[in-house]
Each structure stands twice: as C-alpha cells, then as structure tokens.
C-alpha cells in the first residue's frame, strides 16, 4: 500500500519508468555529434545554469530544484558526479548527469534529455557514450538508468536490459 500512503501524505505519482542496466564494456564509448554541436563538462555555476536551461527545454518543467543540488554536489563530492551540457551554436540543447556510487560498481545515469527540435540526431546516444567511457575509465562495471518510454528504445538498442519498473512520486508543494 506504499503508493496509497504516499498519496495521502501529499505525493503525486508520476508516469512509470523502466529500470535498465548494462555492462559498461558492452556500450559504445564514442558517438558523433551533429555539426555545430559540442559537449561540455559542467564544473561551475555557469555550467550548471546552462545545464538547467537545457533540462527545462528538454522536459518542459521547472528544474530550479536541480540547481542547488548540483552546485552542492560539485562543491562537496565532485568525484561522485559527472554533469554535461550540449551546446548548439552556443545555446544549451541537451544535458545529463552521471552519479557515481563508490564501492558498488554501479554508476547511475540521470536527467538525460534533449530539446525537441534536436531530438533524433544522436545527441542522447552521445551523452550515454560519453558517460559510459568515463564510468569505464573510473572502474565502474555497470550503468543503471530509470528511463521514460521515450528513452527506453534507445537504451535497448544500445544493449541495456530492462529489469523492473519504478513509479516516481513528487511532493505537492501546493494543496
């Protein structure tokens, strides 16, 4: 009855997601980006702002909650976070994060999203390849991701295996 308890406590169920896992060694370590598109590592407040803008364009939601969380993680535990933003002609069009879990062999892929006009051009695949390469370099054996139905087909083609489904819940800030 967890779902019902969460709803009574002020949480709303979001669309279900699929939990995927893949061995890092089986994933592409490189992917080409379209002409005029560049991938940048986020390491400071300016990069976080670009990442937030890309995230909001990709998902159509307010991502201000992610700003402070990312800044804090970069300041307090920078070895456990890889954040990237993709720029097209200097404008943010895609972003993603990888959270590293020391001692587990697993790295989690989060927030991978691309603005609608840029979808279907290999950017999401390039974000996965970039993070997979970094995970391998740092000794992680597996990547996991909670994926929407939009990302699931790409992940399957890349070799990820669906293990289960999850239902995220978000706390309502207004009644």
The answer to whether residue 175 scores a pLDDT higher than 70 is: no
Query: How much is the pLDDT for 64?
Result: 87
pLDDT in tens, 68-92: 999 999 999 999 999 999 999 999 9
The DSSP annotation for 3-49 comes to HHHHHHTTEEEPPPEEEEEEEGGGS-S--PPPTTEEEEEE-SHHHHH
pLDDT in tens, 36-51: 999 999 999 999 999 9
pLDDT in tens, 82-118: 999 999 999 999 999 999 999 999 999 999 999 999 9
Distances (CA, A) of 76 to 62, 82, 95, 108, 151: 24, 13, 21, 18, 30
Which CATH code is given to the segment(s) 2-171?
3.40.630.30
Rounded to whole angstroms, the maximal C-alpha distance in the chain is: 50
How much is the pTM? 0.90
pLDDT in tens, 120-155: 999 999 999 999 999 999 999 999 999 999 999 999
64: part of which helix (H) or strand (E)?
Answer: helix 64-76
């Amino acid at each position: 009855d967890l779902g019902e308890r969460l709803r009574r406590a002020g949480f709303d169920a979001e669309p279900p997601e699929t939990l995927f896992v893949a061995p890092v060694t089986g994933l592409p370590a490189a992917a080409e980006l379209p002409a005029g598109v560049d991938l940048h590592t986020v390491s400071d407040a300016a990069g976080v702002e670009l990442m937030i803008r890309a995230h909001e364009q990709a998902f159509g939601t307010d991502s201000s909650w992610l700003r402070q969380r990312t800044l804090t993680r970069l300041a307090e535990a920078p070895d456990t976070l890889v954040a990237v933003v993709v720029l097209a002609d200097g404008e943010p069009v895609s972003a993603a994060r990888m959270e590293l879990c020391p001692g587990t062999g697993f790295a989690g892929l989060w927030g991978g999203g691309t603005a609608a006009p840029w979808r279907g051009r290999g950017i999401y695949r390039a974000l996965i390849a970039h993070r997979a390469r970094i995970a391998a370099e740092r000794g992680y054996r597996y990547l996991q991701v909670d994926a929407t139905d939009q990302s699931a087909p790409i992940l399957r083609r890349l070799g990820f295996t669906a293990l289960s489904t999850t239902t995220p819940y978000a706390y309502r800030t207004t009644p």
